[in-house]
Amino acid sequence: MEFNQKEPIYSQIIDEFRMKFIQGTYTLGQEIPSRRELAKTLGVNPNTIQRAYREMEDMNLIITVRGQGSFMTSDRAMLESIRKEALNETVGQSVELLRSFGKSDQDILDTVKKYLERGKTP
């Protein structure tokens, strides 16, 4: 994982977990790496990993069971909520970018429809 300088590392780690959960790399209830293991793998301070895990626990994205480890949530509704949030964020960013290119909402809608019908850009 490569980190950018624009946002805190712990936040980037959370985003990575969310993306892997959305994409199915991590599944409902799956055990995730220990804090120490992940710190070593990523080459970051263990306190950074601790903060990321604590925040993910607060978000109910992961659950930590003392003596057993940390696990992705088993809550399917949480997964669907995260997926919906990511979809809305991605669509919103794309629409705003296309608007900045001078495209009207109707142009954007027509382009998306054509893309979906053909499976490629018009």
CATH number of the domain where residue 53 is located:
1.10.10.10
Q: How many CB atoms are closer than 10 A to CB 38?
A: 20
The answer to whether position 4 is within a domain reads: no
The answer to whether position 51 is within a domain reads: yes
The mean pLDDT value for 4-15 works out to 94
Domain that holds residue 41: 9-74
Measure the CA–CA gap between 68 and 88, rounded to whole angstroms. 35
Tell me: do 98 and 45 sit in the same domain.
no
Q: What is the pLDDT of residues 48-82, one digit of tens each?
A: 999 999 999 999 999 999 999 999 999 999 999 99
Residue 27 token pair: 């599944």
Residue 104 has pLDDT above 80, yes or no: yes
Read off the DSSP letter of residue 45.
-
pTM for the full predicted model:
0.80
Tell me: do 65 and 20 sit in the same domain.
yes
Return the SS3 of 31.
strand
pLDDT of residue 91: 95
The answer to whether position 56 is within a domain reads: yes
List the one residue out of 56, 63, 74 whose CA is nearest residue 17.
56
Q: At what angle do helices 46-58 and 9-23 cross, to 10 degrees?
A: 50
Tell me: do 52 and 85 sit in the same domain.
no
pLDDT band at 32 (very low <50, low <70, confident <90, very high): very high
Place of tokens 């995260």: 82
The answer to whether position 1 is within a domain reads: no
pLDDT of residue 1: 83
The mean pLDDT value for 91-116 works out to 94
Residue 92 token pair: 């919103």
| Total of domains in the chain | 2
